[in-house]
Amino acid sequence: MRVLLSTIGSRGDVQPLVALAVELKGLGHDVRLCVPPDFREWIAGLGLPVTSIGPELRSTAKPKAAPAAPISPELRRQMIEGTVAAQFETITAAAEGCDLIVGATALQVAAPSVAEHMGIPYVFAAYCPAVLPSPRHAPPVLGVLGDKPTPAMDDYSELWAADARRWNDTWGTLINSRRTSLGLPAVSDVHRYVITDRPWLAADHTLGPWPGPANGAVFQTGAWILPDESPLLPELEAFLDAGDPPVYFGFGSIRAPEQLSRAMIESARALGRRAILYRGWADLSLIDDAPDCLTIGDVNQQALFTRVAAVVHHGLDLIQPGERYSAGRFARSAAAWGEALGGRAGLPVVFVDERLSSFDAEQAIIERKRGGEKITRKRKKEQLDALAAAGFLQAFLDGRLAAIVPGGVAGG
């Protein structure tokens, strides 16, 4: 069987499909991938045929010198048109001769139509329950469109209906124009067209269970995790062996604010800890040449995380109505990822409420100024984030950090 696996997104969107591809190849199937160009070299190095789709994404994580101007409606329209055209053209060519198309993550506007036109099956896969409609959770929160986190509700069906209408308004005309040119009937529900009537949920049954009834509407496969047996680099091994377990800081493919490196490193130093800083797509770097910190690129995290004191990853966007927390798609996805990674690494994963951290850090600076220390306005801003992060780390290492989980409150 020849299979095309297609996705658009960052490493977290691509790597599960690569895991599936490796497994299918091992079973004797012919597998090819269609992913952003950022991952072409890596996937080709695994011996898998790969086709690039869409623009390079890594540059979107670089810090901006100034806030980006809002995208105008006309520019947004042009971007959407370009996305639709590129997907139909690229996936059509990549799927030639295939017997099945698997599309992952929500932005699969062309793959269902390409498969239908070719007369082959199409499967949609989500990595997190929050991507799929359910009265038990809210739709994804899209900050670029002005969405706000949703307060906890008993039934989210109306929000999903509104979300479906937005999908139709955004994509319906363009998709149906392409479908007409292929001799296919128009679709009236774009979101349902993308995710299908029986999507797959590639999430761990314990960490990310489907909240709906077990009626077969969602097929949960379990998480697709790529095994990694690669050794750690000698430089990293030497650093780990040179002292106590360090704190690992990694922010993946997100856009990193200025001074993030300083805040992370100084928070570790404030606790007497060494630090490992993952460069990521933002190309984070060290703030000095001191031997207590090391920057790394892509690494076998499954091996590394068993040898560090704590893992710090980019956080969640939560609001608290009453005694419960509500989170959007990305928050829940990050929580599921963190818990799954912690389970595999054998390390604790703690999500914390950081709303009072800046206040606590501010009070600490005030006390230092009262003690005679001179702190400039610029230095104060740099110190605030470092002190707040140091407070979290110290509380965690002391075993007194009050933890939260999306959807409920957990004790420390």
Residue 300 contacts residue 231 (beta carbons within 8 Å):
yes
3-state SS assignment for residue 355: coil
275 phi and psi angles, rounded to 5 deg: -140, 145
Sorted by where each starts, the structural domains of the chain and their CATH numbers stand as 2-61+71-220 (3.40.50.2000), 234-314+350-409 (3.40.50.2000)
Partners of 31 in beta bridges: 3
Extract the tokens encoding 136: 């038990």
pLDDT per position in the chain (412 positions), as tens? 999 999 998 888 999 999 999 999 999 999 999 999 999 999 999 999 999 998 888 877 666 655 556 677 788 888 889 999 999 999 999 999 999 999 998 789 999 999 999 999 999 999 989 889 999 888 887 766 677 777 788 899 999 999 999 999 999 999 999 999 999 999 999 999 999 999 999 998 887 889 877 667 899 999 999 999 999 999 999 999 999 999 999 888 877 776 788 888 988 998 899 999 999 888 889 999 999 999 999 999 999 999 999 888 765 443 333 333 344 444 555 555 566 656 665 666 666 555 445 556 666 666 777 777 777 766 666 666 666 666 666 666 666 555 444 443 333 3
Neighbouring residues of 372: CB distance < 8 A, sequence distance ≥ 6 = none
368 phi and psi angles, rounded to 5 deg: -70, -35
Max Cα-Cα span within the chain:
77
Residue 221 contacts residue 242 (beta carbons within 8 Å):
no
73 phi and psi angles, rounded to 5 deg: -55, -35
Q: Using the structure block, give the residue that is written with the tokens 């969640």.
A: 316
d(CA 127, CA 225) in angstroms, rounded, equals: 11
CB atoms within 10 A of CB 229: 7
3-state SS assignment for residue 116: helix
Residue 388 contacts residue 357 (beta carbons within 8 Å):
yes
d(CA 47, CA 64) in angstroms, rounded, equals: 36
d(CA 108, CA 89) in angstroms, rounded, equals: 13
3-state SS assignment for residue 255: coil
146 phi and psi angles, rounded to 5 deg: 90, 10
Within 13 Å, how many C-alpha atoms sit on residue 64's CB side?
A: 8
Neighbouring residues of 362: CB distance < 8 A, sequence distance ≥ 6 = 384
Q: Which amino acid is at 176?
A: N
> How far, in whole angstroms, is CA 185 from its chain's centroid?
34
Helix count (H) and strand count (E) of the chain? 12, 16
d(CA 231, CA 343) in angstroms, rounded, equals: 20
Residue 210 contacts residue 129 (beta carbons within 8 Å):
yes
Between helices 357-370 and 377-397, what is the axis angle to 10°?
120
Between helices 111-118 and 73-94, what is the axis angle to 10°?
40
Within 13 Å, how many C-alpha atoms sit on residue 297's CB side?
A: 1
Which of 312, 276, 281, 336 has its CA nearest to residue 393? 312
Neighbouring residues of 368: CB distance < 8 A, sequence distance ≥ 6 = 375
Neighbouring residues of 257: CB distance < 8 A, sequence distance ≥ 6 = 63
Q: Using the structure block, give the residue that is written with the tokens 């806030």.
A: 67
pTM of the entire structure?
0.75
β-sheet with 293-296: strand ranges across: 293-296, 275-278, 247-250, 310-313
Element (H, E) at 391: helix 377-397
331 phi and psi angles, rounded to 5 deg: -65, -45
d(CA 51, CA 338) in angstroms, rounded, equals: 30
pLDDT of residue 149: 75
pLDDT of residue 406: 43
Extract the tokens encoding 197: 């009537």
